[in-house]
Amino acid sequence: MCVVFAFSGRAQITTTGVIPQPVDAKYGAGTYVFFEYSVGVGDGISTDNLIFFKSYFRSLTGRDLKIGTSALPLYDIRLLLDAKGIRESEGYQLAATNKGITIKAHDEAGVFYGLQSLLQLLKIKNGKATVPFCTITDYPRFAYRGMHLDVSRHFFKPEAIKKWIDLLALYKVNTFHWHLTDDQGWRIEIKKYPLLQSISAYRDETIIGHKKDSPHRFDGIRYGGYYTQDEVKDIVKYATQRHITVIPEIEMPGHALAALAAYPQLGCTGGPYKTATYWGIFDDVYCAGNDETFTFLQNVMDEVLPLFPSKYIHIGGDECPKTKWKTCPKCQQRIKDEHLKDEKELQSYFIGRMEKYLNSKGRQIIGWDEILEGGLTPGATVMSWTGEEGGIAAAKQHHDAIMTPEKYVYLDYYQSLSPAEPLAGGGYTPLSKVYNYEPITTELSGEEAKYIKGVQANAWSEYMANPAEAERQLFPRMLALAEVAWSSKENKSYPDFLKRLRYQQPLLKKLNINAADVFDEITDSVTETTDHQVALSLQTTLPGSKIHYTNNGSTPGLNSNVYTGAITVTSSGVVKAAVFNNGKQQGRVYEKSFTIHKGIGKTVTLKNQPQGGFNPGNTFSLVNGVFGSKLYNDGQWYGFAGNDLEAVVDLGSVQNISKLGINILKYHWQKMWEPTLLTFEVSTDGSNYTEVYRQTDFPDNGINAVRASIKTQQARYIRVKATNKGIIPPGEYIPGAKAWLMVDEIVVQ
């Protein structure tokens, strides 16, 4: 996707095919044609840098590259180190002229990344390998550019891991965070503890469908696997040759059920325990009062460390319920003996003790942001996932942090709102949201910002049962993250990124990547018009295309309405739309249902404000005619953690009403609870209300659509009250946590 504009006799390129976007790229009006199919390697450069390049070059051209040991003009490609001329670590300069291609770099990593850019520019023309004339100067914004992959919920064989490492390397991602242990499976061979292989690496069966479904269903099939130490060594070597550091994660003190199933003496109750068969958080964790726990984990680390030369070792630290610690005599004795305040400080003690051990072995720890609980241990790096707050807090304390907030960079979330989208973890993280994430928040000063060392995308594998499903979730969003991590924020442009991403499509296909084709789908926004009606705006990022739509529920075609501006929706029904380019439909058909009622666009007042990721930022979504979906990821649902709902709709004038409604979302396995009491009240003056309906039973797991028929009467104000469950009771998922009360669309008819 190279677009050339001529200015004053000079050819300039505004768009290239390189991802991530280079610091500077200039193109000329010509191409270099390979004649020798050769590479000359300068002093100090390892031929390991050429392993991936040679492999792909052969697959694309059918030709083997000849390797020489000096960077002379007789070679097509010349590789040189120039640390003085190129000052930035991992930086490089790539120049392609009619005399050949030269890559100069600060270090060997820079040589490697210059070659990756060259790979992306390589084309075949008339049977010859060609590269456009160009001069590229490039270096990364962040030193840490990562991708996390969970292999505990679903196990991926070494060949799949290697395939994805190739993709990370191609797009200049330099860290692979390998999540090896969790409740649902232990995935690394530890020779001192053979039961980790025979018991912990396997579960009896696996949940079918989504965790939120009730009752849970299971497939009845034993599932598991693990990586031998030889396989781990091979993968780490493979990654190292591609300038990727592999960081292992051994979870502690929570997410330990698989390990406890094999060694129950490490838990607070002594078991018996079973490797988890469904997704979630479990109360049974490592006993912090038992010295044998620390002996076990230290012995595990003694076998893990020789396999991974990484500076950092990830020890988890997230989602550790303190329930069993509160009643465990050993844990309570530890709190007393160590003069700790509570169980949060006990977690800090646990993390600190393991950190000291790893420090004694010359390593440093990374942990999820819960390691901040009870005080951050010295030298720890925080991986901020629950939001950005953990990373901000760490940076303000002058601790290193990696930004990886769930809301922006979790690749197991849905990437499209299409009803045809495959099952995913929850939430909605489209390509644009990943791309537009900015890791340096405005809360940090310039000095504090230096402690944000990088950014990482996370992929949890609950709903990725095989490599093809995983690839669809990872790519192309991982490419967007690569640009966030490498390119300066001033140098980023989402429309330009999409052009370069389209340019990359043949390359991804050549590498047999099952990337999701979702970035040309229709997106929308529902807003309020000046006269309090509903307006639907549609967008597509595909240049030169048109959107055709219908508002009667029929499938759109070339003869359907052409979208030219926001559509005012005045009646109930379904709007469908599709993108057409050169007379052909692109992507899936979009659809949106509307229910128009007397409350549309009316003023809504809330006593308590919605929270977290369930806060649309206004009250219009409660009266916009669009019902929230069962996936609760479309920005329609309002969530109240531990708080009640009290909403008043002002119809603007006294009117006859005969039906009232609201949607309630009930998923106990997502901490979403129905209210203990729901009431509707009406008033003509806004002061004196009369109750007209109440409900206490909400039987459906999912959306409970409350539609209350009442005696026709006059009212201007409608008051809706819903009493939150409060604290989740014992025996339920995450007992003791605040229940979420989830509501949407107050219907007035």
Which candidate in 182, 251, 448, 591 is catalytic? Answer: 182
- For the chain, what is the total number of helices (H) and then of strands (E)? 17, 38
Looking up tokens 């003790």 gives 353
* Farthest CA pair distance, the chain: 92
3-state percent breakdown (helix, strand, coil) of the chain, nearest 5: 25, 30, 45
Which candidate in 251, 283, 319, 634 is catalytic? Answer: 319
Establish whether 284 is a catalytic residue. no
Contact yes or no for 86/105 (Cβ under 8 A)? yes
List residues bridging with 67 in a β-sheet. Answer: 39
CA distance 703 to 630: 6
List residues bridging with 3 in a β-sheet. Answer: 15
CB atoms within 10 A of CB 87: 10
CA distance 251 to 264: 16
Parallel, antiparallel, or unpaired: how do β-strands 175-179 and 245-252 relate?
parallel
| Phi, psi dihedrals of residue 51, rounded to the nearest 5° | -60, -55
CA distance 740 to 718: 23
Angle, helices 51-61 vs 158-170, to 10°: value is 90
Q: Which of 536, 535, 533 is nearest to 524 (CA)?
A: 536
Q: Which of 570, 574, 576 is nearest to 535 (CA)?
A: 570
Q: What's the residue count for the chain? A: 749
List residues bridging with 727 in a β-sheet. Answer: 738
Establish whether 138 is a catalytic residue. no
Establish whether 517 is a catalytic residue. no
DSSP 422-453: PP-SSSB--HHHHHT--SS-TTS-HHHHTTEE
Which candidate in 255, 314, 548, 597 is catalytic? Answer: 255
Query: Which of the 8 DSSP states describes residue 116?
Result: H
As annotated, the active-site residues are 182, 255, 319
